[in-house]
Structure 1
Amino acid sequence: MNILIITHSQDNESIPLVIKAIENQGGKAFRFDTDRFPTEVQLNAYYGKGEQLILSDDEQKLDLSEVSAVWYRRIEVGKKIPKMTNPQIREASIGESYTTIQGMISSIKGFHLDSVPNIRRAENKQLQLQVAREIGLDTPKTLTTNNPEAVRRFAQECEQGMITKMLSSFAIYDEQGRDSVVFTNLVKPEDLKDMNGLRFCPMTFQENIPKALELRTTIIGKRVFTAAVDSQSLEKAHYDWRQEGIAFMKSWQPYALPQDVEEKLLKLMAYFNLNYGAIDIILTPDGRYVFLEVNPCGEFFWLELCPGLPISHAIAECLLTQADN
């Protein structure tokens, strides 16, 4: 049974973990580093006297009609196209390459973990909060706006303070190309005085939720894996544990969610037709479970290392068993 993994060459150790798990369960995994297309990888999509969809490089050739399942992990199409005198030509090349690969992915008839349209819809954080509230999950008061006065009014509702975050993944790059992720941050009173920057970019604001623990719940099919970390043990991580992600690498512990919370999370996944999701939750000191967001292609590899959750095994099992259906 052939499993195609859609990723890029700089992806992390989650890829070899899942490849090994697929092979241990009797399958064969093919890794497609999308940043190598179209410069190093070739695709033939032929529709004439029959159909043919072939992906190849110098080392392997894969007939995509023989692919039983697809794991859509990451996509970085066209990153190795060299800089050109006319930047518009390079942008057009990247756009055409991206469209070609998305068409290829859509054409594969096997099981998809998950289908791109489902992923794109589920990435809408505003819709996530709306659906989570309807299902009965506890959610923070949230405002997304480009209106400074609305922010100031909202701040008055937030008795424990207010934080700000981005709805999209965002990083700032220095002159050496090193990235700095924009994390969740506390909004200070002085920040409310000058908010003219909202004219150029809307921001999302939430009430600051007190934290006893931060939870990461990974769902694959109907299997639910949860781990917890005490983010408040390090000062820099009070508002976003990722700021001390490396320091916390060995601090995560298995955690058992209440059954009713798990059931609501599974309902959320079913609404979006997702088989995979990485969910962020806050456990408050008074025992509330506050849903923050679900990441349809969220990371999990550090939870495999510590506390040793068998997530890669579950992903491989899902790909192989669903391919049989």
Structure 2
Amino acid sequence: MSVARAAAGALAMLVAAATATAAHADTLGEVRQRGYLRCGITESGPGFSFVNAAGKRAGFEIDHCNTIAAALFGGLKVQYVLTTPQTAFTLLQSRGIDVFPAGATWSFSRDAALGLDFAGVYFIDGQGFLVRKRSGVQRVADLAGATICVAQGTTLEQNLADYFHRRRLKYRPITYGDADKALEAYQADRCDAVTMQRAALAARAAGMADRGQHHILTEIISREPQGPLVRQNDSRWRDIVFWALNVRVAAEELGVSQRNVAEMRKNSPNREVQRMLGVYGNYGRALGLSNDWAFNVIRLVGNYDDVWRRNLSPIGLERGPNRLISQGGAMLALPFR
């Protein structure tokens, strides 16, 4: 009898634990009850995440948060939670934020070991270097023996070590807590170069008073596929984040933009457009959302090109690999069918 009781007790504990885990995994329920999205962001500079002249948060990262909120609520109900690439993962794991869409590179260790899941790729970048023009450095190989500022504990640091090791080049890394501190150290002449993703370099360097005295090397030492992060074992929430960002690419591919979305919803004969915009089928209900969720995303935030032109074109970034696959890039929209 005691063995039976023990077995029954153990089973009850397992069931209780499983039930608690399932309940704890319902991010959508938590967000709806709270009434707004808690979205992790970084201070990555103009074009990506910054406070504009009107005193409001703006940028490519911010529009990812707005995209998810638009899908959820039909409005931009977002609390932006400031974090860093070093602390964002812990904050997400501890449920301090619901999603971190601010440019984490999709790597094996992050995907397999952190208890987090990536929800697609929305931006492809590469790691580059900012150097002083007077240094005469034109290629990465010219940095042999140089001191290089880099953010500690990031893929940037590992990419740098891997690249120089493979080519048997010596260098001296000087590490800092985040990318902004690394750039400040470079500006203070404490290193010969600073390295980070080229888009981030362009955004941060745009604010330098002596910007004309520096240049970004054309070479890159890595490919950085970036996407939003969510907690593992919450497939419905991952699907919502994935499809909310995917719909912007799909909309561009289908010719639906922030400017014409209302007209397209009313008059487009294309069945895929009708499904996407909630005119036909129940493609919102499958996600636990209203059927007009994608219409709200495009109406309030725009398609991928709208978001790019608003945020990244002003700082001089070309789309490159972030063009649609039909235009020679790598952005591929999954179909609405």
Q: Could you say whether these structures have the same fold, taking a TM-score greater than 0.5 normalized by the shorter chain as the test?
A: no
Higher helix share: 2
TM-score by structure 2 length?
A: 0.28
Taking structure 1 as the reference length, the TM-score comes to 0.29
